[in-house]
Structures are given as structure tokens and as C-alpha cells.
Structure 1
Amino acid sequence: MSVAKHHPPRAKATIICSRNDKVLLVRRKGAKWKFPSGVLAPGEAPIVAAARELWKALALHCSGLKAVGTVEVGNVLHHIFATDLPDSCSVVLGRGIVACKWACWEDLSSTMLKPTAAALLSRDLQELVHHDGRPQSVSAFNTN
């Protein structure tokens, strides 16, 4: 008789970067668009992983990351962060990223996004960002 092992969900830091009512999407070679994200290293704080991912993948230094909650999608627990990037901020592709783009929330569709990003989008991620582009203060954003 085999016993099924319970594996705890994998943890990722997922970052919603906004600018002028648009959100930043990234793409790896051969993949669909997604929000910037990175897997947490053992013992790593989610905000540290978010800052690390933005720096290594996009050469962005963000001191204004705001934790807005967690969302579990499949076997991945996403620690969601939001930040507003100024117009003067430039993005440099790195660490496996082949393209990035700014997209209006209204233009995002499940067909253009990776399944995980589409699942996050279906959980009202747009509510994290005011119409003026600044992150909202959300005390709890837990969805299962």
C-alpha cells in the first residue's frame, strides 16, 4: 500500500509593476506573457525574493514594493507585491527574459498569458492598482 505524500505549495514572489494605468509583462523564450516573479529560496523572505527577481530579471531597483497578500494557484503560493514605476525607469532584460511590454489591464486576456498569470488575473488582480497607477493598501488579499 502506498501512502501519498503531501507536498507543501511552492512559494513565489509575484510583482505587479504599474505605470500610467498599464502593467508590466515579461516573456521567456517560447512562452506566453506573465507577471515578473521568482521562486523563493529556502528561508528567503518574500519581499527579498521580489526585489531580487526584479533586479536579476529586469535590472529594476524597487524600494517601493508593497505586500498586498497571497494567492494560491495550483501548487504555488504567490506572495503578491505591487509597485509603481516612474516614466523615467528603464527596463533591461536579463536572466532568461526575452521580452517585456507595458499593457493596459483591459487588453489582458487569458489567451495571451501563461495559465498561472491568467489564473491570477481571474482573481481580480486589477483591484490591486488604482486607476491612477499607485498600489492600493490592501490588508488581506487571500483567495483559494
Structure 2
Amino acid sequence: MKKRATVICRRGKRILLVARSQSKWALPGGILKHGEHLSDAALRELKEETRLSGKSAKYLFQFRGAQKHHHVFYCDVSKRAKARASNEISRCRWVHLEDISQLATSAPTKVIVKALGEKRSGSRGK
């Protein structure tokens, strides 16, 4: 099973999604290069796909999909930075968390975003 660095970028209640042409929306990210650290892969993939420079990559959790083992990171990006589709990505869009379930997304994207919401609400009372 391939390891994938998957990136969550948030601005308030919106999350960044990307898509290849003729493809479903997904979280930015990709497969690790040989010898690459997970956090480095997360920042590299974010930059390659959206031209956004993450300030850091904070490890959140992992999720095993059907084909890939997702290592999910939160990347903080400048509020003023514009996401621009790059490389194999043809579209990027900031989507309200509540709207993601209505979009055509990859199966892991829906599960990861749902898990993110559950982790957030679970930590509010602490």
C-alpha cells in the first residue's frame, strides 16, 4: 500500500480542494518520493499542486483507504496567498465544510474531512 501525504488547508470554515481535469475533488497531496519525510512530502505536494507555500506541516492522523495509506497534515498558509492550479491539477477551490458532502469527491476525502470535524468537536470541551 502506497503512503500518501494528504494536506488540509483551512480558512475559517472553508477547506482547500483540488481536482485534475475530468476528475473528482480531493484534498491536495500525493505519494512520497523515495527517502522523503511525510511532512516534507505534504509541503512539496501542496506547493506543486496549488503554488501555496505551507509555513509548516502538522501531523493530524492517518487513514487507510482502498489503495493508499493517507498521512493527514494540517498546513498553515498565508491568508493573502492565492491557490493556483498547477502541474496535473486543473482546478482548486476553497469549499465550505458543510458543502463538501454535496460535491463529487474522492471517497477518502469525505472520510478524512468528516474525521477532521469529529476530532475538532471532540476537543472543544477540553
Using the size of structure 1 for normalisation, the TM-score is: 0.75
The answer for unaligned runs of 5 or more in structure 2 is none
Q: Distance in 2 between matches of 1:23 and 1:127?
A: 15
The yes-or-no answer on 1:46 pairing with 2:38 is yes
State, as a whole percentage, how many aligned pairs show the same letter: 29
The question of 1:23 aligning with 2:5 is answered: no
Q: Please tell me the residue identity of whatever aligns with 2:2.
A: R
Conserved in 2, the CA contact under 8 Å of 1:36 and 1:53?
A: yes
Match of 1:116 among 103, 108, 113: 108
> Which of the residues 109, 113, 116 maps onto 1:125?
116
For residue 68 of structure 1, what is the aligned residue in structure 2?
60
Gaps of 5+ in 1: 1-8, 131-135, 137-144
Residue 129 of structure 1: how far off its partner (Å): 5.3
| Residue 5 of structure 1: aligned partner | none
Q: How far apart, in 2, do the equivalents of 1:128 and 1:76 lie?
A: 21
Q: Distance in 2 between matches of 1:110 and 1:126?
A: 16
RMSD: 2.0
The question of 1:10 aligning with 2:2 is answered: yes
Decide which structure has greater helix share. 2
Partner of 1:55 in structure 2? 47
Moved over 6 A (4+): none
